[in-house]
A and B are shown apart, each in its own frame.
Chain A
């Protein structure tokens, strides 16, 4: 069964080290569509509904001019809204590199290192109880702002060419991107037209350091198939059966083995953000298991469990470690001793670990100094 309910896997297309696995929706979702820019005259997404209001989604970091004559602004966190209203957006300062993209008058996203910072801030609000150990800044501002290093799609080897030569299938609503045969991101939208409009933006997305390294050092992706016995073939019908069987086997192999980590399980922390009509917007965190594949992401799920929208980000090993410690802290109401217990260390060990992971400034200065002297 597909790890993404409502989406079916089709044959992968391979270029260099990149494998792109298309996700097909047999019946496109028409009552939730990409938000058309309000002042927009040149939008490429065609509308199936004529004029009437519909539910619209605005992907995280989707940049557009939301009001006539206004400055471009980025959606902060994916949102579901009425088609007639503008989303909550963060006005962004236009700098040189961005202007070029602006001029092409297309759908576009923020340079996504900004988005990644946003993600972590959304997922971790900072200490929820003001224990004396935490610094004033941590309590006031949470983890934000913090910089996460990430790479744009342009830096991932072969990705640009792979996306260019990719042949979008009829009915395709999503894609799973593998870099060096390790999953990098999964992306799905409600309708094929939305996908066609957003396909090039996969290149503007951010990818973690792990994906960048996989692109540099990973193996070339080879087309996968299972050899079959020619002696079994007696006629054209047999060959058709072989083809169908090959496609089915590939989809199953992909869904169970390659994309298994994309399945949302009980171990995931799912944060229910917002509901509108039939749809539920969720953000999810992985179990932060070190050395395993961990994806954070956002999704919109219909009442019947169909995934209408999905966007994931593959965490690098370092980020998983950070997430692991933060998750333990959050689980124990940000009490240092309890969290240290759970992690199998003591207060000193945990403080050292936080320091190493770059979270030192969350703790009070004197506490850090005391443990640093003791070491």
Chain B
């Protein structure tokens, strides 16, 4: 099947949106403000939803980030009137499935946003009702997300069972609750000893109210902390001498772990080298799963220039992605070599500093003629046009037979270009948010290269949707 010119354009639009939805989070980046990022993403969402609604919906099935997943659901619900009945029928299972996969705070935040923007139709109300009904622990939700649940209840005209209505609207009237967690919450208002059975974020508020010292609080709250909360509190836990808060690093997801490692100063990283390297390698093996060791020989060019600092809102995120990719590729490949842009060689000691002579490093890596080359960078070379030109010349003159496949993974969404910056037209660029998605993204790269057409892309997405819906949908 040959594609028309319009098909090619459509394909390009869709790939552009997919890349943006994977990388962009609406947060401040190294080179642009949060407002510019949000504006760029907003435009893309409106444009793609208006022109390719079915593809827009299907995006929920691929590895786009949670921020954009929530935005897609919001946009779909807000434009319900424009959808045909078939489209609405197709959208519903995907929305339900993706909502279940979102962290609950994100889902409740979405409901809050729907209320704020006055998006209220029968479908929206049904979706909120079903989501709440399917939550495993209603008492925990009620205590932990009280304000958001209240907003959602009011917005979707929900009738809550048992004591929950009273709990949301007149919480301190009953002399006691029958649900244990609600009763603990009530007692925590008056007794400091009750608050340690509450979720950490809720207990923090009560601890402040009762004037409990932070160190005492951290020591006693440790059993209630989730893994994410505990990871955030690692250095505080060390200061407060609260060993129960220490996280078993082997169970932290790869990119998170990389971010944590980079937050430590160089001395500490050197001191805990064995532990950290072991944890990173273990996390990478988990992420690689059955694909471990199947990729043959690989090489990577990883950006640790100053711009990989990211921004105060996503501190060292691009560098963390690069570091995680290093360990993941190590696990995926039989033999792997990384070339850091700065020329430093110790991945554990990576820090964002210096300029980006990307072109030279890419040539260094190409010289070893690896069958697969991955470049993780924000795409800003210090000689931009030269780099693009050199890589085109390499693709067309030195390696026309495609003995080496090159993929550029870009963790930064460029709001002005509406897509992550490309290194060169000859090399496909795909957005990346978490290193765990690397294998799937490399699969997506053939669409970014323009070698596969719209037809392929649609069938690829249909395939993804089917597989996604068949998946159980338990939150990861």
Interface residues of A (CB under 8 A from B): 10-11, 13, 22, 165, 167-170, 223, 225, 227-228, 230-231, 233-236, 239-240, 242-243, 246-247, 250
Known interface pairs A240-B363, A242-B390, A243-B383; 4 further A-B residue pairs with C-beta atoms within 8 A, sorted by A's residue number: A227-B389, A233-B397, A239-B363, A246-B383
Chain B residue nearest in CB terms to A240: B363
CB <8 Å contact, A236 and B386: no
The 6 nearest A-B residue pairs measured at CB: A167-B306, A167-B355, A233-B397, A230-B393, A233-B393, A11-B382
Most buried by B among A11, A165, A239: A239
CB <8 Å contact, B383 and A165: no
Q: Which of B31, B354, B383, B397 contacts A225 (CB 8 A)?
A: B383
The answer to the question of B90 belonging to the interface, with a C-beta cut-off of 8 Å to chain A, is no
Interface residues of B (CB under 8 A from A): 30-31, 305-307, 342, 353-357, 359-360, 363, 366-367, 382-386, 389-390, 392-394, 396-398
CB <8 Å contact, B397 and A243: no
Whether A225 touches B398, Cβ cut-off 8 Å, given contacts A169-B354, A170-B354, is: no
CB <8 Å contact, A167 and B397: no
CB <8 Å contact, A167 and B383: no
Taken together as a complex, chains A and B put the C-alpha atoms of A169 and B360 apart, in Å, by 15
Contacts of B363 in A (CB 8 A): 236, 239-240, 243
Chain A residue nearest in CB terms to B306: A167
CB <8 Å contact, B386 and A167: no
Closest chain B CB from A167 CB (angstroms): 4
CB <8 Å contact, B367 and A236: yes
Contacts of B398 in A (CB 8 A): 233-236, 239
CB <8 Å contact, A239 and B390: yes
CB <8 Å contact, A167 and B354: yes
Taken together as a complex, chains A and B put the C-alpha atoms of A236 and B362 apart, in Å, by 10
Contacts of A234 in B (CB 8 A): 397-398
Taken together as a complex, chains A and B put the C-alpha atoms of A227 and B307 apart, in Å, by 27
Whether A225 touches B394, Cβ cut-off 8 Å, given contacts A165-B31, A167-B306, A236-B363, is: no
Closest chain A CB from B350 CB (angstroms): 15
Contacts of A236 in B (CB 8 A): 363, 366-367, 394, 398
Closest chain A CB from B339 CB (angstroms): 14
CB <8 Å contact, A223 and B385: yes
Closest chain B CB from A20 CB (angstroms): 11
Q: Which of B307, B366, B390 contacts A243 (CB 8 A)?
A: B390
Contacts of B384 in A (CB 8 A): 223
Chain A residue nearest in CB terms to B343: A170
Q: What are 17 A-B pairs at a CB distance below 8 A? A: A11-B357, A165-B30, A165-B31, A169-B355, A225-B383, A227-B389, A230-B393, A236-B363, A236-B366, A236-B394, A236-B398, A239-B393, A239-B394, A242-B386, A243-B359, A243-B363, A246-B383
Whether A167 touches B392, Cβ cut-off 8 Å, given contacts A223-B383, A236-B367, is: no
Contacts of A165 in B (CB 8 A): 30-31, 307
Closest chain A CB from B312 CB (angstroms): 12
